[in-house]
Structure 1
């Protein structure tokens, strides 16, 4: 069998190309690049391996040119569909792998995956495919050229593409490290020349040429490094001749190819074409698909070991992993090509000529034309969705109106597309059920219109979207309509009447044109499929459910704390769906009225036992819960060394009173979740993962919301900031606060001073506001919820003087000034707290002051959150008793607490009596380790992770590691929490009762 007729291909050049491509990818992405200044030996080894690996990309077009006779006689177009399907399969599998590793999906990745040529993406692979398709025409032209002209063309192109760039040390033609399409076509031509002039047999001692070329490359790296050091003082130009298109690299590439080709022919090492093409596709996708290279660099990069041996082993280990992945994917893809689904899809997509491709495109066009009515509906609702989001955005003047329109089109495409898909799924379901096109269109439009109008009105009035729970208000439709402008009501009635009449007329006249032509089997399958797809709305917030992944893929904003901003970003439909899947808390086994009554009785007795040694409440007993925004000691963070102590006063207070660390469920955010736990005594880590923000997702649904204000006569909230976030106004009203002081509130803030250029009201002003409230009532019991906002992000150039500095890798360069600003703010807080406590000691009534930070600022991105998750979710707290109450107080030894422990600990330090509910909370605080959300799984603050416990020795443990007695207390607590939040509220009145005089 002659070579030209053989169906097998020489394998060694391609095998070497695959190995070198993998080595190059590992060197570029998977290990840190050594610098000459820090490690010259490693720098030389890396540079040498990189230039050796650089020939891998050159070998493939050389091979194609050399074996042109086997390619140009093939029908190259017939292979494209198979190549594309294999590429998609490998890419999608890789994306699934990296999603598991990083929990991140990106719609843009999929667009570029399906259409890599659309944005000059995946340049090398696209260029090789274009070369493959062009081979028949290219070879046909080359065969018409005389040998003499071929030689002249070869010398001319080599002079331009190799000699000149080498002489001038510039990428003159934009070859992009050998991935440019012009360079790839040149290499094909070079392979063609090697074949035409029989260089394989004419070149003697090919192995010696290869060895000599390798020595030259190594010597050049050594020589150019020294020259670079002399001329520039660094090694920046050490690799100037190591690029794939330099004369020396080309000598090595040609020597390598000729030797491997000669050896492969001599040893008859050949494989079938499908094996060769599948191996190439697999290797190139795994090594050069930009999504994979980015993910490898971001999530899989090896550390930089001190040992050179360990460094080399890291490289070889990663090369081995890559090779195993390539082999595995190759075997799977070879088997996949033999399966019935692959063959069917391939046959559907395949074409043998451009005319056949044109026919297939015409068939698609005809199909689209037949279904044009449905596509027109999709286009209509796409633009209708645009109008929805546009109307929700705030606009002032025509310039901003244009900016908002452009913003929606350019930044919300994924939301527009996803919303259109959802609407169309609903539309098609109704159409399959009724086969009445215009009735279904009108119904869908009316529903969408109602949601649009109600959302715009509600966002305007209350800065929140329409919630699924709002549907309950339809029972009071007359009251709702009374709140709406009569003009809107009349306009709505006219629109509904118009759509009803027009749809009836059109449907009757054009029934046959728009009726579905499906048989009953297809309709049933379609209905069932759409029902399954739409049922995903009930699992949107279940982590890793298909609908959860889909919403992540389309970049849906899952932040629940600011529903107003979220609906502007997501649109009313998606935000409505976002709020459907809210499971409050899993029901404990055996939950019943009898079980709750049994627990209540148990803690009635426990309260009696506790109160035997506690004092009665005084008539003016006072408690202050002070949430200090982002307060945390930066010196406790790993990889941060602070110069000086920005909080010396609070550090001393912590030594003198009950104090320690508080476990925060958030990092950089989640303030209201901490606040909710402090006020209610309930634990967010016991709630369902789908309930992210209790203020906005839970409190509305509770008939009764027991909280610490129930124990006091006067209840005041001070929040020196806006109250629009987290629905605080509505929540605090439901919690029973009588006065709520915030910016622009009816209860005016008296003190609103700020420090220098800080945009937030100072902590000093907040404490003055609190002192005013304390001094206004010395007769009755008083509770104050205080949130101080001075240290809220962002941290700009606020202060005229910054007295503290730091060192360490925990803070990246762009955040370093922010941490300096933050520490200065802490120092101002420290001074304000000292002054506030001095004033508390002057007040003649018993005051217990609980101070705590809600979460850390988002400044420590240089640290590994998985390694230091706990440290990034711990803030500082202390409980202080003023001078008036100090005689009866008792200092507690509680090193690690949760926010839900504060009320019980405050009452214990004040040594005052508790109700049965707070007797339960006292046992939880004293006998259970502090509970929180797993700090690794909750970094994003977007869902609740699994519950973990932290001991006073700051060790994380699971529920299984609790003692039997601790598990019993936890079970009692979970029963009561479930009953209050998601159950029948048998214990609500019991939890609300006050201290008996």
Structure 2
């Protein structure tokens, strides 16, 4: 007992952290206990890992050891909570690759229920009490030799896990890292996920084997003369709730979509994700690759490190312009880097949308589709445009459309109030999605070009915590039943065209088969990956489900052996199939070039204000591609003026004119200033940058004034003009006016006043306009004289 008491901080603190972290991950102490009974080996491994991780640092002084132990433990508890929360809403958990998605993780916070915060607070309270007890514990630590022994032992235990236990767990795949009885638990599972193991047998992968597979691939028909525009719309969280028979709708939220599905090819997509991770179905539909055979839970983040053939690069070979348009942050899921590898020419992200419309908390799909239409109209070549919407993104709160009239409840049934509110908000969101789709199709019909539109949902929406709405609808439950699996992961797809392609039943197919389907419809050759998918389709295989459902879908692992080898070859291997492009593309950002044509003034005079009657000087910039900062969307920062590489507040007039205030200290001595315009994102990255103009700041003695125009341009006899206190004033606009400048009319100096270096005026006596004549007007500054302007006094 004395030994146990003496050593308890190194044992009991890890034990309590183990209980807190794993029970928080499991969803409560009862579920934790069930897991403990059902999987005692994994529970023991989890405790050993925590014990070892904390006690590696036992050789340090007690205060340092305790501080590290508390910080590490707090991290484990927070990650366990985030993972539990992510699972509640999205059906998956935090993984090591999520460290690269910290910005995206902030999105999750908008979904959280207050009860989750209460749960976290209670666990943190317990943690802080235990931590306080650890700090005030006065037991004498082990001697130095024993501390070293404990630390070294902890290191050996962890290495043993990394070298032997972890790989064994990953290869066995008998249990899941997800919460439940058949679980590795969070600590053991997350550490094993750090261990990179390949399910590819090296003996299976070699140059000859890839050549053998390639030679057996089918060659699809090709029509190089037929070049239809191809528009793919990945519609965020698009699902058809009207198929649920336990609720009623006062009106159809998707009347146009249903009409399309009735008259054009349509079916179901088996998505690899639920409720989130849009990048995965996006990746699959563009490349034909399957995330089922990739350990990385989000390939966009870590797996794509070199040029990778995709629909974008394939259509480019046929002379297409390849663009991707997304109405949200550009940096989500590492998209800019990925799009360069995939071969896109252009990326128009949310930062480049000028004065978009807000529908609920997100941008109207109509603005997105307007951008699609502009791309089609401004390019001579056919277009491949991949579009990612946001209008239908969650959360679906009751007040989502409170500023919109006519949003009465359209869904009724035996639902709780919270579920009814969520489903009604979602259904109203679908109405706006449907209206935008109808407008897009109507506009495409006006363009006299053959066009294919593929519209599909990336995943089902997040309707309540822990599938609450779906469970109340009796649509699916959190089970491994085949029907539940299909309902949880299938979304609608419809393929429209304007050239009379035959309508067909697409049936159900995995997201990675979409690209192969599109290539066939557009009569274009794909690559080895798409040919391999065509080969599978010829065998009647169009679905790559989770392995436990192979038998239900009448497929087996041997069906995918060749495809898996080809996928490994192009994504991780040596590209023996010679599928991938050799170089990345230069990705243009935005729909048009950001350009400065001129500035007003084009020259600045030391100490002389410009384009202002009172207050500071104003510089006007004329050009193109300027964007206004949005008051609704924080990611639309707008075009910002930079002077000498420093940002300045920018006043937006229109897409061709912006202005900024120039402080006097910038032009109080002869010099020059550099001007450029930039568009940045919320992370401070420059997405687009204009050309640079240099504006000289000239000494007053060296400037020659210039007259551009006069007000009035014509004078009528005996008629006063620009009156101030009964006196007539002639105003001149131009450049280079100083405090010493004077206006001369017919070589007679006038009483002149400078407003700034761009405006000067003078008092004109009556006798100058009491009869028809011609004035010769100029401005003189010292020995410098402007150009002459002729003004007429008429009857």
TM class by smaller structure: 0.5 to 0.7
The superposition leaves residues 661-709 of structure 1 with CA deviations (integer Å, 9 ceiling, x where unpaired) of 1111222112111000001011222x14x42111113113xx3312111
Cα distance between partner residues in 1 of 2:313 and 2:288: 12
Q: Which residue of 2 aligns with 1:379?
A: 66
Matched, 1:874 2:479: no
Checking the alignment, whether the CA contact within 8 Å between 1:658 and 1:879 is kept in structure 2 is yes
Structure 1 unaligned runs (5+)? 1-76, 82-87, 96-104, 114-289, 300-324, 329-367, 387-407, 417-454, 466-512, 559-573, 935-945, 951-955
Structure 1 pair 546/652, CA: closer, same or farther in 2 (3 Å)? Answer: closer
Checking the alignment, whether the CA contact within 8 Å between 1:668 and 1:855 is kept in structure 2 is yes
Q: Which residue of 2 aligns with 1:532?
A: 160
Residue 511 of structure 2, aligned match among 899, 902, 905: 899
State the 1:710 CA deviation: 1.1
Q: Which residue of 1 aligns with 2:315?
A: 712
Counterparts of 1:273-422 in structure 2, within 5 Å, are 291-292=29-30, 373=60, 375-382=62-69, 412=78
State the 1:525 CA deviation: 6.6
Q: Which residue of 1 aligns with 2:287?
A: 680
Q: Which residue of 1 aligns with 2:555?
A: 959
State the 1:410 CA deviation: 12
State the 1:107 CA deviation: 2.2
Matched, 1:865 2:478: yes
The superposition leaves residues 522-567 of structure 1 with CA deviations (integer Å, 9 ceiling, x where unpaired) of 99977643432454676897767899999x9996799xxxxxxxxx
Cα distance between partner residues in 2 of 1:899 and 1:656: 22
Cα distance between partner residues in 1 of 2:177 and 2:437: 48
Matched, 1:909 2:596: no
Residue 596 of structure 1, aligned match among 198, 210, 232: 210
Checking the alignment, whether the CA contact within 8 Å between 2:22 and 2:185 is kept in structure 1 is no
Matched, 1:516 2:145: yes
Q: What secondary structure sits across from 1:856 in the alignment? A: coil
Q: Which residue of 1 aligns with 2:438?
A: 834
Q: Which residue of 2 aligns with 1:317?
A: none
Q: Which residue of 1 aligns with 2:297?
A: 692
Checking the alignment, whether the CA contact within 8 Å between 1:662 and 1:876 is kept in structure 2 is yes
Matched, 1:740 2:344: no
Structure 1 pair 913/892, CA: closer, same or farther in 2 (3 Å)? Answer: farther
State the 1:650 CA deviation: 0.9
Structure 1 pair 106/738, CA: closer, same or farther in 2 (3 Å)? Answer: farther
Cα distance between partner residues in 1 of 2:459 and 2:271: 6
Q: What secondary structure sits across from 1:878 in the alignment? A: strand
Matched, 1:770 2:372: yes
Q: What secondary structure sits across from 2:358 in the alignment? A: coil
State the 1:409 CA deviation: 9.2
Cα distance between partner residues in 1 of 2:310 and 2:413: 42
Cα distance between partner residues in 2 of 1:534 and 1:698: 22
Q: Which residue of 2 aligns with 1:791?
A: 392
Q: Which residue of 2 aligns with 1:615?
A: 223
Checking the alignment, whether the CA contact within 8 Å between 1:621 and 1:780 is kept in structure 2 is no
State the 1:382 CA deviation: 3.9
Q: Which residue of 1 aligns with 2:654?
A: none
Cα distance between partner residues in 2 of 1:523 and 1:914: 56
Q: Which residue of 1 aligns with 2:43?
A: none
Checking the alignment, whether the CA contact within 8 Å between 1:901 and 1:924 is kept in structure 2 is no
Matched, 1:824 2:431: no
TM-score by structure 1 length? 0.42
Structure 1 pair 824/549, CA: closer, same or farther in 2 (3 Å)? Answer: closer
State the 1:647 CA deviation: 0.8
Q: CA RMSD in A?
A: 4.9
Checking the alignment, whether the CA contact within 8 Å between 2:528 and 2:566 is kept in structure 1 is no
The superposition leaves residues 489-518 of structure 1 with CA deviations (integer Å, 9 ceiling, x where unpaired) of xxxxxxxxxxxxxxxxxxxxxxxx975159
Counterparts of 1:72-91 in structure 2, within 5 Å, are none
Cα distance between partner residues in 1 of 2:511 and 2:534: 13
Checking the alignment, whether the CA contact within 8 Å between 1:718 and 1:786 is kept in structure 2 is yes
Checking the alignment, whether the CA contact within 8 Å between 1:630 and 1:855 is kept in structure 2 is yes
Cα distance between partner residues in 1 of 2:188 and 2:322: 35
Cα distance between partner residues in 2 of 1:933 and 1:583: 21
Cα distance between partner residues in 1 of 2:152 and 2:440: 71
State the 1:923 CA deviation: 2.8
Counterparts of 1:495-506 in structure 2, within 5 Å, are none
The superposition leaves residues 40-97 of structure 1 with CA deviations (integer Å, 9 ceiling, x where unpaired) of xxxxxxxxxxxxxxxxxxxxxxxxxxxxxxxxxxxxx9xxx9xxxxxx9xxx9xx9xx
Cα distance between partner residues in 2 of 1:409 and 1:292: 23
Cα distance between partner residues in 1 of 2:409 and 2:539: 40
Q: What secondary structure sits across from 1:841 in the alignment? A: helix
Cα distance between partner residues in 1 of 2:188 and 2:151: 34
Structure 1 pair 921/110, CA: closer, same or farther in 2 (3 Å)? Answer: closer
Cα distance between partner residues in 1 of 2:400 and 2:81: 37
Higher share of residues assigned strand = 2
Cα distance between partner residues in 2 of 1:875 and 1:518: 57
Structure 2 unaligned runs (5+)? 6-11, 39-54, 83-97, 107-141, 464-469, 584-795
The superposition leaves residues 862-918 of structure 1 with CA deviations (integer Å, 9 ceiling, x where unpaired) of 341324221121111011112xxx15x343332112211112212222344555543
Cα distance between partner residues in 2 of 1:549 and 1:722: 32
Cα distance between partner residues in 2 of 1:616 and 1:413: 53
Checking the alignment, whether the CA contact within 8 Å between 2:23 and 2:29 is kept in structure 1 is no
Residue 780 of structure 1, aligned match among 381, 390, 393: 381
TM-score by structure 2 length? 0.52
Structure 1 pair 839/554, CA: closer, same or farther in 2 (3 Å)? Answer: same
State the 1:988 CA deviation: 4.0
Q: What secondary structure sits across from 2:280 in the alignment? A: helix
Cα distance between partner residues in 2 of 1:764 and 1:833: 8
State the 1:983 CA deviation: 2.4
Residue 353 of structure 2, aligned match among 740, 749, 763: 749
Residues 765-774 or 901-910, more deviating: 901-910
Cα distance between partner residues in 2 of 1:295 and 1:636: 39
Structure 1 pair 719/922, CA: closer, same or farther in 2 (3 Å)? Answer: same
Q: Which residue of 2 aligns with 1:924?
A: 536
Higher share of residues assigned helix = 1
